[in-house]
Amino acid sequence: MGRRADLPGVADLPRPGSTADRDCHDLHVDMDAFNASVEIRERPELVGRPVVVAGGSNPAGNRGVVLSASYQARAFGVRSAMPVAHARRLCPQAEFIPPHFPRYAEVSRGVMALFREITPLVEPLSLDEAFLDVAGSLRRLGMRPAGIGEWIRGQVYDAHRVTCSVGVGPSKFIAKLASGLSKPDGLLVVPADGVLEFLHPLPVSALWGVGERTAQVLRKLGCATVADVAIAPLPALRRSLGVVCAQHLHDLANGRDERRVVPDMPEKSVGAEETFAHDVVDRAVLKRELLRLVERCTAALRGRDLRGRRIALKIRYPDFTTVSRSRTLADPTDSAHRVFAVATELLDGNLPPGTAVRLLGVRVELLVRGAVAEQLTLDGDSVSAYWSDVERAADAARSRFGGAAVRLATLLETPGISGGGDEQSPESGNQIG
């Protein structure tokens, strides 16, 4: 997680009484403005400038959302998940760049592989952050936890030219909070004997799971800081927050977090969706945009060595009514060709003619990891294996030469129309299909 705007910076933190990292075996590594940093790496002329990765790189594309913002853009108030139109008003001089997901997946694979050289206990949370339990690696590496954190920061930058922040602590909660508070490009150790001194002066929003609504409830109870939650009577917390939430926050406020690092937690689904810059009725245009989404989704699957059996389609109408439909396959796939065929059938079967669409999304669920033999059939589905090989070759070309290197011919007809699109008008490239 990035550092919350209402939390202090490292310079503002109360300094723990001890600097020892003994018993601090949990690390949380969080890439700094990951997507934006990767884009800046590819375009050095953007170094030091406000950069926003988001859909809608043209003036009409104001219905997308910000995916990532450089720290220069954040200084103007630009934040992830902010509408692009708002971000443009806050920072009109920013460079708005569409996302290149295969490129981010490639960097993520390299970073996660580096983590696994240190310890097998790596729990990825997303492409750009992970927990590491380094207790079993200290003797082998001859390093202390803080030294491992510094080594990781140096290796990530040397190998990928992007920076990360590292939190070191006695639990996952403390390590994650420490990494967010040390951003950007920093390291913060919270000693086991300094947890409460570190936690208690912080605002209640520092507690994992406290959003604006929960924070309002806590403030009504007189809880402004973590210390207030720690000493609040549990019965009062339970009445206002419920038994489970109250116990969770009370434990965290008192420095208790028994969760361990669980390597390779299974991902439940991978998907992509777009809010269009204007409502779309044309069925051919919708199918072309659906193909863009399927390409993004399946590229992410292949980048994470995942396949899925259930294809889900999401449609949102101009009045914000949203419907979801899905179909389960006989065997898992990562092929854009196959996913698009199913998604198109779902679109045709569930969208009445002449109906306008505000948002379109596709998701692959029931995931499995690793190679899975696809059942050959007599109805033409056996071409999936061929398409999978073609798509993997295209992934490799795009990650090396950029998103325009290899593209489906259908997507060369026009640039993306969506407010959250990831495609630019092609300058050159090979055509497939």
Sign for the CA dihedral angle at 81, 84, 89, 94 comes to positive
Q: How many residues does the chain have?
A: 433
Host H or E run for residue 67: strand 66-69
User: CA dihedral in degrees (95, 101, 103, 105; nearest 10)?
Assistant: 130
Tokens of 345: 């059938």
- Is the C-alpha dihedral spanning 64, 65, 70, 72 positive or negative? positive
Give 41's DSSP letter.
Answer: H
- Could you tell me the strand order of the sheet in which 129-133 lies? 122-126, 129-133, 26-31, 164-169, 187-189
Enter the DSSP assignment of 207.
S
Residue type, 203: P
Tell me the catalytic residues: 129
Interatomic CA distance for residues 144 and 149, integer angstroms: 9
Nearest to 294 by CA among 380, 374, 361, 390: 361
| Max CA separation in the chain (angstroms) | 71
The vertex-316 CA angle with 289 and 351, nearest 5°, equals 75
